[in-house]
Structures are given as C-alpha cells and as structure tokens.
Amino acid sequence: MSPKKIIKSMTALFASMAFLFAGNALIVTSIGVVLKERGEGPLVVGIISSCFFIGGLIGTISAHKIISKIGHIRSFGLFGAIFGISAMLHTISNNLIFWAILRFLIGVCYYGFLMVIESWLNEKSKNAIRSRILGFYEIVFYLSFGIGTLIIALNLSRHNVFILSAALILFSSLPLNLIKIKEPILPASSPISIPKIFDIAPLAIITSFIAGILINGFFSMAPLFILLQKFNNQAVSYFTFCGILGGFFAQTIMGTISDKLGRKFAIITCSSIGFFTMLVFIFFKPCLYIQYCLSFLLGMGIFCLYALALARANDVLVIKNKGVELGRGVLFCYSLGSLFGPLILGFLMQYFNTKGFIWFYISLLGFLILFTINRPHILSKKFNKKPGNMVMLDD
C-alpha cells in the first residue's frame, strides 16, 4: 500500500494528533514564560519542566500495559481525560509542588499518547516507506505544535492558556470516536530491555536519547533563552515557532532522503545543520530577526532526529510483533533524554546565562556526529538488509 493510502486510512488518528499536539504546545512552552513572570530562576524552570519528563518515563513503562488491556482508542480517551483535567487544575493554585505533580501526570498521559500513536503507525507501515509515514506524522506534530506556540503571542491570561489547552486535548478524542477506523491488534504486554535493544540498534538508541535532550530542551528552555536577552513574550512565541517551522520544512524532505540514502546519512546531515547553526551564536551576536532565522535552521537540524531514530530501530526489526516493544525502548530513551535536557540547561543557564544554552547544543550535536560516523559494527549477525538502510553511509 502506498504512503498516501496508508495516511488516508488513518485520517481520524492524524486529526486527533492535531488537537493533541496543539494543546500540548501551550502546556510545554508556556510554563517557562509563566514561571519567569513570577520571578523564578532558570533552575526552578528546569526542575518543574523536568517533572513532565519524569512522568514521561513512567508513562513509557506503564502505558503499554493499559494499551494491551483496553485497546488503542479507549487508551487514547483515558489519557486525554486525565491530561485535560490536569491542565485545568493549574488554574486553582500557584504552589510549585502542586504544579510539579500536575506536570508529572501530564507527562504520563502525553507519553501514553505517543505510545498509542507510534505503535499504530509502525504496524501500518513497511520498512520501505516508514520514514515517509513517520515524516508525515512529524509534519502534523510540528504544524500543530507551531499553532499552539503562536497562541502565546496573543498574551492570554494564565487561566485562559490552561483552559484552552485542556479544551484542545479533550477535543483530540473526538475524531477517533466519530470517524470509523480500524485499530491495531492488541499487543502483548512485555518488559523493556534497553541493553537488548541497544545491542540490536545502538545508533537508534543514542540518537533518540540525544534527540530527547535537544528537542525538549528547546521546548522547555528556549523561551527562557529569549527572555534572558530581555525580549518579550511575542519574541518567545516567534522564536519557538521558527524552530518548529524549520522542523516542518526538514520533515518534508528528510523522510525521502532517509529512505533513499540511509538513516545514518540523514542523521549526520541533520546534526551538522544544527551544529553549525549554533556556532553562529558563538562567533557573532545576531539580532532578534537573525535569531529567528537561526532558530529555523536549528529546527531543521534537531527535530527530525527522533523520527530517524525510530525508523532506524524498525529497520533492524525481524519479528513483526516486536515492533511495539522496540518502539517503546526507543521512546523510553527519548523520554529519558527529555528528563535530563531541562535540568542540565536550567543549571547551565542559571550560572552561564545564554552561553550555557548555546554550548550545550554544540557539544551534544558534535558528539552525535562523531558517534554516527565512528559507530562500531556490531550488527552483522542480527541485522537483515532492508530498503532504507542498504546504501550510502549505512552498514
């Protein structure tokens, strides 16, 4: 089946994604702005943001059991209800511990959503077209997330931001319940074995871990990066949106490049774009409008990495029904990286201001480039050659 037919058959799922990602954007990107307005420092922002990803780790481990028992559609509705309630509860208290708990619950639900979506997509797509299907998934993500971040430029009150976010999340359950769609077969519950998955797909694991650090570090701390330069909330919204727009642009071409030239080549290309973009911040002092352009390029560099990691992991999959387990391992590493990103950035920006943000990205992107180029060959007995991993720069 062609990519277009597969995407058309899952219209309801992609419609639900659009509401979900737009609502999540308000929660993720507004937290730094709200806490900064309350006079909290970068370290506090990083800690509160990290609670979301602690929940993500728990969600990655536990959501599979829920999906195995009640199915994909009902799981989607359950996660949506808890997410929406948690978002609305932000409006009843300013207590930071209470907010940390709410962020934890939202993280559990959001990564539960990702488990539902990605296991669904992986079951429906073959290796030869997987990057294009995942690329379309990422396009929906970044377009919807971009719309969510632009809402911040409207300078809505904190109360309205959280209520609107909750409404979008609750709306996300409607398409799956109103439009007829065939959900995947219920997967069997199984534990995550990171060492086993790393032995099979080391490049996928390392890339997903670094992608989690970079992508969610950007979403959580890029607003603070702009605010520390004495710019306003509107600049925060536009800077974040430009990064997402760069991710959208890259997804329109990177899926095809990955399928034709190999995952390894695509990972090196994306990492290099982000690496050289951040060097510009070091050697020059760009004005705000140039920073918007650089944010666009950084988005091109980092926002494709997780989809490439997921495609790489599934390339080495031999047993079809192990797709959920493998995808869950990759998502677990992504969420683990997402936990460390805001924490480390919060510490670095607390003591080194904006320079901490810049050098953080340069260091990790440089490491990923070197690891991808010099990755040891350990897959010879387990890796079956398939389209998407049999040409330039791939083993």
Contacts of 68 (CB under 8 A, 6+ apart): 186, 187, 188, 189
Longest distance between any two alpha carbons in the chain, whole Å? 58
Please report the pLDDT score of residue 382 as a whole number: 41
Q: What share of the chain is helix, strand, coil (3-state, %, to 5)?
A: 80, 0, 20
Query: How many of the other CB atoms lie within 10 Å of CB of 274?
Result: 27
Contact criterion met (CB below 8 Å) for 23 and 169 = yes
Per residue of the chain (395 residues), what is the pLDDT tens digit? 677 787 887 888 888 999 999 999 888 888 888 888 887 888 888 899 889 889 988 887 788 788 888 888 888 889 999 999 999 998 898 889 999 999 999 999 998 888 888 778 877 776 667 667 877 887 888 788 888 888 888 878 888 888 999 999 999 888 887 777 776 666 555 555 555 556 557 888 899 999 999 998 998 899 999 999 989 888 999 999 999 899 888 877 887 788 788 888 899 999 999 999 999 999 988 999 999 999 999 999 998 898 888 888 777 655 554 555 666 678 778 878 888 888 899 999 999 999 999 999 999 999 999 998 886 544 433 434 343 333 334 44
pTM across the whole model: 0.77
Q: Is 381 helix (H, G, I), strand (E, B) or coil?
A: coil
Please report the pLDDT score of residue 74 as a whole number: 87
